[in-house]
Amino acid sequence: MKEIVVLSGKGGTGKTSLTAALALVAGQELVVADCDVDAANLHLLLDPAITASADFFSGELATIHSDYCTQCGICVQDCRFDAITFRDSRHQLQELDCEGCGYCARICPMQAITMQTRKTGRVMLSHSRTGCGMVYARMEAGAGNSGKLVARVKQEARQLATATQIERVLIDGAPGLSCPVISSLAGADYVLLVAEPTVSSLHDLRRLYDVIRGFDIPMGAVINKGDLNPQVADELKSFFRDHAIDFLTTIPYDEQISGALSEGKTMAEINPHYYALIGDIWQNLCTTL
């Protein structure tokens, strides 16, 4: 089984748009996963039907046991997130403000505060409208993506692929370079880079390249909105050439694409030309892996 991770460095270059379009042309030949849960939007294009879901636990939440509380107020004073207040004649925790650091539990003289693992979201197993299995997550307010959650989504996607004898997992990765991105690279077989012809995209791509190189994973790239700036597009292509990154294709900037996306459709559904363009990328990936 092979894992392809779609990354970019700079956000907004078109990872999700491309992932959804690839899912459409690949039909049943893959399992797709959304590992960008801070701005999870793959489901907006793939309209999945949920088949199962499970709670995701991450970090901790304080619980104040009123029976043991002597109202001394030390926790109110010392909580650096101002998550404890005195209301309705007792000390209460504001859940949304609690960061789960555990300091209050340690300093409470009556040991009236305990820490509980915290449910921060749900992981969904689903079936995409394009015919493949899909794994994604929905988070509670205030919760965010983490290396742990990405690892969980990837694990579920691999298990789903194994169970259904599918050989390829396509992962819509997170933007940036931090834990969620590193976590998506661990165990991955190929990285598909999505760049746009802007100075920021090239800059962040260089940094992302250094991160990926540490993992020794082969890379391919697509330039999205490629005709917006031919000069930077050329700089990107030089960068790919100089660093053994397979340059796959350029996708033009086309308002038909943004139009399709706002209707919940992938770019592969606009016309046969785009379907073929995306189809070629998928064929290329299948041949390489």
Partner 1 sequence: MKLLFTAQKPDWDAQIDPRFGRAAYLVLYDEATGDLESIDNTEVKEVEHGAGTATAQRVFAIKPDVLITGNGPGSTAASILNRLPMKIYIGAESRTLREAYRLYQENKLELSDCHG
Name the residues that contact partner 1, by CB under 8 A.
58-59, 146-149, 151, 178-179, 182-183, 185-188, 210-211, 213-217
Least distance to partner 1 from the beta carbon of 24, Å? 29
Yes or no: say if 21 and 278 are a contact pair by the CB < 8 Å rule.
yes
Is the Cβ of residue 118 or residue 129 nearer to partner 1 in the bound state? 118
Is the Cβ of residue 147 or residue 252 nearer to partner 1 in the bound state? 147
Residue recorded with tokens 């998506």: 184
Least distance to partner 1 from the beta carbon of 95, Å? 17
φ/ψ (deg, to 5) at 99: -95, 0
- Residue 187 DSSP symbol: T
DSSP-derived pairing of the beta strands 133-139 and 31-34: parallel
CA 133 to chain centre: 17
Is the Cβ of residue 188 or residue 194 nearer to partner 1 in the bound state? 188
Is the Cβ of residue 217 or residue 270 nearer to partner 1 in the bound state? 217
Alpha-helical regions (H) of the chain: 15-26, 42-46, 74-78, 103-107, 147-163, 179-185, 199-213, 230-242, 255-262, 272-288
Least distance to partner 1 from the beta carbon of 186, Å? 4
Radius of gyration of the chain (CA): 22
Smallest Cα–Cα separation from 59: which of 97, 102, 12? 102
Smallest Cα–Cα separation from 188: which of 214, 224, 207? 214
Cα–Cα distance measured from residue 159 to residue 284, given in angstroms and rounded to the nearest whole number: 25
Cα–Cα distance measured from residue 16 to residue 111, given in angstroms and rounded to the nearest whole number: 47
Least distance to partner 1 from the beta carbon of 211, Å? 5
Alpha-helical regions (H) of 4-146: 15-26, 42-46, 74-78, 103-107
Is the Cβ of residue 23 or residue 149 nearer to partner 1 in the bound state? 149
Least distance to partner 1 from the beta carbon of 215, Å? 5
Is the Cβ of residue 56 or residue 136 nearer to partner 1 in the bound state? 56
Is the Cβ of residue 214 or residue 272 nearer to partner 1 in the bound state? 214
Cα–Cα distance measured from residue 166 to residue 159, given in angstroms and rounded to the nearest whole number: 10
Least distance to partner 1 from the beta carbon of 266, Å? 30
Yes or no: say if 119 and 143 are a contact pair by the CB < 8 Å rule.
no
Least distance to partner 1 from the beta carbon of 134, Å? 22
- Which residues, other chains included, contact 213 with Cβ-Cβ below 8 Å and sequence gap of 6+? none
Is the Cβ of residue 74 or residue 177 nearer to partner 1 in the bound state? 177
Least distance to partner 1 from the beta carbon of 265, Å? 35
